[in-house]
């Protein structure tokens, strides 16, 4: 229950019927805008991959993947994906997508180790996207340009939904503010990482925190990140390491920072080897994905994921992700939501 936030006097601005219609409106409008802004084409993605190939995302390294034996493969284990961070890069190579263009897909996952609450569900749905880049694009300027392009689509989507439902009012900041995780720690040295996110997000409205995964001056990373997809150790123009980050906005309904996307310029062979060494996971270099990357068979890329239910929750001004998607919740949480007038699907 510690993960449940119930604002005082919350009441959904939309009926269940309006909500269901609104979910489709948000998803259709945003994905069309995203595809146009980043020059992406839609592809079909897997729900599961074979275990032991290094394709699945291990997130922070401790989450258990949902696994099952495949009878026709001699009971070889398959895993439900956590995300498609590495699968998308393999697909860029397979489709021979040239620099400046990319792909996106609907990613559906099961994350059994999530702490269930307003923002986290066992079921994860997001737009996973990946775009081919050149060596000249591997810099902070390019990263910021892509973030601004995505944020522009978010602003357009918010305005569209508020036009469809006049009872909703726009609240996103006009611009996104960039800050490195180390600079954020320097600003708020006495706060935890999540408290720092709340403080900076409340101040600016929308932020992109650069450098997620590498250790900061206090000896800890701002947040955990796997060592084999985002580049969080290459120094940028300002000397601070990190070519990746998280996009967060201030959620006035919940009164806290609200993460919408994790994204970044992906590792090249040099930075992946370095990050695997820093993480003590160099044995991964023997896996299928890692061998192909180290062998120069995969294109340089930038990519990320954008939560679909999260986005609908934000723009339809809901307090709980269970108002957007069907999932399983602890009985105590369901009862508390019902008592507060929060209708979980």
C-beta of residue 101 within 8 angstroms of C-beta of residue 77: no
Helix (H) or strand (E) holding 193, with range, is helix 193-204
DSSP per-residue string spanning 84-105: -HHHHHHHHHHHTPPTT-EEEE
In angstroms, the CA 268 to CA 266 distance is: 7
C-beta of residue 224 within 8 angstroms of C-beta of residue 213: yes
Sorted by sequence, the CB contacts under 8 Å of residue 56 that are 6+ apart come out as: 49, 65, 79, 81, 82, 86
Q: Is the Cα dihedral 288, 292, 298, 302 positive or negative?
A: positive
Task: Identify which of 173, 110, 137 has the alpha carbon closest to the alpha carbon of residue 264.
Answer: 137
C-beta of residue 212 within 8 angstroms of C-beta of residue 232: yes
C-beta of residue 237 within 8 angstroms of C-beta of residue 206: no
Please give the positions annotated as active site: 57, 111, 126, 246, 259, 262
Q: Is the Cα dihedral 320, 324, 325, 331 positive or negative?
A: positive
DSSP state of 60: T
Q: Which strand ranges, in their side-by-side order, compose the sheet holding 244-251?
A: 40-42, 102-110, 123-132, 301-307, 256-265, 244-251, 206-210, 177-180
C-beta of residue 312 within 8 angstroms of C-beta of residue 23: yes
Sorted by sequence, the CB contacts under 8 Å of residue 263 that are 6+ apart come out as: 146, 147, 150, 230, 244, 245, 246, 247, 302, 303, 304, 305
């Amino acid at each position: 229950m510690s993960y449940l936030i119930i604002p005082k006097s919350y009441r959904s601005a939309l009926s269940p019927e309006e909500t269901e219609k609104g979910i489709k409106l948000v998803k259709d409008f945003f994905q069309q805008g995203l595809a146009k802004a980043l020059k992406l084409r839609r592809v079909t993605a897997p729900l599961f991959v074979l275990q032991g190939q290094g394709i699945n995302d291990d997130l922070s390294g401790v989450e258990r993947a949902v696994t099952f034996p495949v009878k026709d493969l001699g009971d070889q284990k398959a895993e439900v994906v956590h995300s498609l961070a590495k699968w998308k890069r393999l697909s860029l190579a397979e489709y021979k997508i040239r620099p400046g263009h990319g792909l996106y897909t609907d990613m559906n996952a099961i994350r059994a180790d999530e702490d269930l609450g307003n923002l986290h569900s066992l079921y994860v749905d997001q737009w996973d996207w990946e775009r081919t880049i050149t060596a000249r694009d591997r810099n902070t300027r390019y990263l910021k340009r892509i973030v601004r392009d995505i944020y522009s689509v978010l602003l357009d989507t918010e305005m569209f939904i508020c036009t469809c439902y006049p009872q909703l009012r726009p609240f996103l900041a006009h611009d996104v503010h960039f800050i490195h995780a180390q600079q954020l720690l320097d600003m708020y040295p006495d706060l935890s990482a999540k408290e720092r996110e709340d403080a900076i997000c409340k101040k600016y409205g929308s932020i992109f925190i650069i450098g997620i995964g590498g250790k900061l001056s206090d000896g800890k990373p701002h947040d955990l990140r796997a060592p084999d997809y985002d580049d969080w150790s290459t120094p940028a123009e300002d000397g601070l390491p990190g070519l990746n980050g998280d996009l967060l906005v201030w959620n006035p309904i919940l009164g806290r920072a609200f993460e919408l996307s994790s994204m970044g310029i992906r590792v090249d062979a040099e930075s992946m080897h370095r990050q695997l060494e820093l993480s003590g996971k160099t044995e991964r270099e023997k896996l299928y994905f890692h061998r192909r990357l180290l062998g120069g068979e995969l294109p340089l890329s930038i990519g990320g994921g954008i939560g679909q239910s999260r986005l609908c929750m934000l723009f339809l001004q809901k307090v709980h992700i269970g108002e957007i998607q069907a999932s399983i919740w602890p009985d105590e949480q369901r009862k508390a939501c019902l008592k507060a007038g929060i209708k979980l699907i």
